[in-house]
Every structure is written in structure tokens, then in C-alpha cells.
Amino acid sequence: MAGRVRVLVIDDSALMRRMLSDLLSSDPMIEVVGTAPDPLVAREKIKALSPDVLTLDVEMPKMDGIAFLEKLMTLRPMPVVMVSSLTENGAEVTLRALELGAVDVFCKPTDINETGLAAHAAELIGKVKAAANARVRPLGDRPAAPVRQLGVATLYKSTNTLVAIGASTGGVEALRDIILALPPESPPIVVTQHIPPRFSTSFANRLNSMSAVRVKEAQDGEPIVAGHVFIAPGDRQFEVRRSGAALVTRVYEGPLVGGHCPAVDVLFHSVAQACGPKAVGVILTGMGHDGSGGLLAMREAGAATIGQDEASCVVYGMPKAAYEAGAVERELPLSRIASEILKLCDVDAARARK
């Protein structure tokens, strides 16, 4: 986006409005054009000020943030960064906001004061700048995927192919679209999504309630089996390793890698080593370049690799970096990725039938 990013801050707390405004205004490329204490005032200020990005508190008076966001994404879609507390209820509501089209979420620190908030300045500023360049789609009705129960045979079925997926900004909605399109007999899938702690648990549980596959937050030492999706905890590194002939999860407290924990590169590098050509790597929408090195390692090890195309990305950052590094074998729109995963994982079976 050319010029300064124009931001409207919406929060019912006068203190939070002031602190968020001061923090954002500390960056010369951001201009806070106004603030609003509730969605009704915000609606008028959006019309008058035409901001590029909104920051929106989840819990609001007069009209809650979710109801306001749903109306906004239907009538006037625009980039929104949700501001949420790190609570179980806050996580559930914010995940709903991301499904409705919010670009990203900024979690309020537990110590709500200027010093505590200032420590997160770079994070908030980065999210707002990324949102300014995001592709926001109007809210439309998406058909729900049929929910089917897994049989016992599927639960313990082993497979020769593992799917590894990495995502960041916009990834919650993208992963939802992919996972809800999968049948119960799908290959095992491991996922690293940049998401705050607690949010990853709620995210996995929410997907599990809607999908035909079993979705869960990964724990250390679990066998990786077909019909399951394992999602990295929001504050742990996540890897795949061999235990004899089987694949198992490794979840551990580790340092930031490329500024991230969990890091997509950590997962992808482990899959390249553990699975070689018996894997499919997928890199989805996201800001930055996490995953490009790991996806390249997967491709060099013989794995098939997919990158989400620019037109369907909320932020074409991570897939672009991977493409430019030579890590992406094929670029596809989001709507085709689930079917391509299933096609690639069925190659051995298709050959056997010939």
C-alpha cells in the first residue's frame, strides 16, 4: 500500500484506545485517523474517515465485536485486526472472527499497562501493516462439509505418505477450508499455524467438531496415523520423527526459529528428514518467509510441494518466498489444494491398481 496506513482503533476502554493509538503512531508509516468506543460510533467514523485498517476489540458494548464484524464483512469488507484477551472465551470468539474474515489477532498482554503493551509494539505494528496489504474477501455463504464418523479401521490405519502444512496470516480460514474438505480416510496431516497459545487448543477443537477427520492439538510422542490432523501448540516447536517404522510427534519447548515458535521451518525440515519422498508439503497464506527453507528441503528430498497462489492468499508472503526459493513444485488456488493433496497421496495406490 502506498503512503501511510490509516488506522481506526475501536475499543470500549479509553485507556486501551489511547495506548494502542500511541503505540501505532510510534511508527512513521502508520497514522491513527480516529478512535471509537463502540461499533455504532465506529460505523460513522468508517464512513467519514475511510481507514485502511481497523483494530477491533472482541468484547464491545451495544454491539459485540463479532456481530459488528459480520455486518462489516458483508456490507463493506476491509482489513481488521482483532484485539483479544488470552482467555478460553476470548480464543473461541476470536477464532470465529478469523473465520468471518478478520486478517489477524493481537493478544492483549496480561499486564495491561504502557510498559507491558510497548513490549509488543513490533508485533502489533507488523500485523497492522500486513493487514493493510491483505486481500479481504466479502463474507459469503460457504457450504459446510459433511461430518462423517471415523470407523475403527480408519483410526488405526497406517499410511506411506505424510502431509505437512504451514500457514500464518489468513491461515485459520485457509486451513478450515482444506480440512473440512477431507474425507475420513485421509492421509495423516501435521500442521504448524502461527497462532497464540490457548488459541491452538480452541482451533483444533473447533475444527474437530466440524470435520470428518479427527483434529487435535499435538502432544509429544503420539503415533501419527491416517484420518488425523495434528496441530502444533501455539508456544511449542513441533516436529515429526521416526520410531522404528512408525512416525510419531515431537513437541517441545524450544527457541524461536526465524522469530517463530512454533516455526513452519522446524516442522518441514523434520518431515524432509523423516519421510523423504513419502511426503507432501503445503505452504499457505502468511506474512514473512517462514517455511521456505524447510519446504525446499522437502522438495530436495523428493517430496511433492504445493504453494497457495497469490490470488487466493490473504497475504502472499510465505508462499511467495517459498516459490522464489524454488521450493514450490506447483502453485494452486486454495479451492484446489485439498483435492490435490488427496490425489498426490493416492499415487502409490493408483500405481498398484494398474
**pLDDT tens column, 120-178:** 788 899 999 999 999 998 876 444 444 444 444 344 444 579 999 999 999 999 999 99
Annotation says 235 is catalytic: no
Q: By residue range, what is the domain housing residue 158?
A: 152-353
Identify the CATH number of the domain in which residue 125 sits: 3.40.50.2300
The winner for highest mean pLDDT among 107-121, 129-143, 244-258 is: 244-258
pLDDT exceeds cutoff 70 at 321: yes
When divided into structural domains, the chain yields a total of 2
Which domain-ending residue is among 132, 167, 202? Answer: 132
Task: For the chain, give the mean pLDDT.
Answer: 88
pTM of the model: 0.89
Q: Which listed residue (21, 84, 104, 194) is catalytic?
A: 194
Annotation says 168 is catalytic: yes
Identify the CATH number of the domain in which residue 307 sits: 3.40.50.180
Q: What is the pLDDT of residues 281-318, one digit of tens each?
A: 999 999 999 999 999 999 999 999 999 999 999 999 99
Instruction: Say if 99 falls within a structural domain.
Output: yes
Looking at residue 25, what is its pLDDT?
A: 94
Q: What is the pLDDT of residues 332-351, one digit of tens each?
A: 999 999 999 999 998 444 33
Q: Which listed residue (290, 292, 309, 312) is catalytic?
A: 290
Annotation says 64 is catalytic: no
Q: Which listed residue (21, 84, 85, 168) is catalytic?
A: 168
Q: Are residues 225 and 334 in the same domain?
A: yes
**Residue 77 burial (10 A CB sphere; 0-12, 13-18, 19+):** middle
**Residue 303 burial (10 A CB sphere; 0-12, 13-18, 19+):** buried
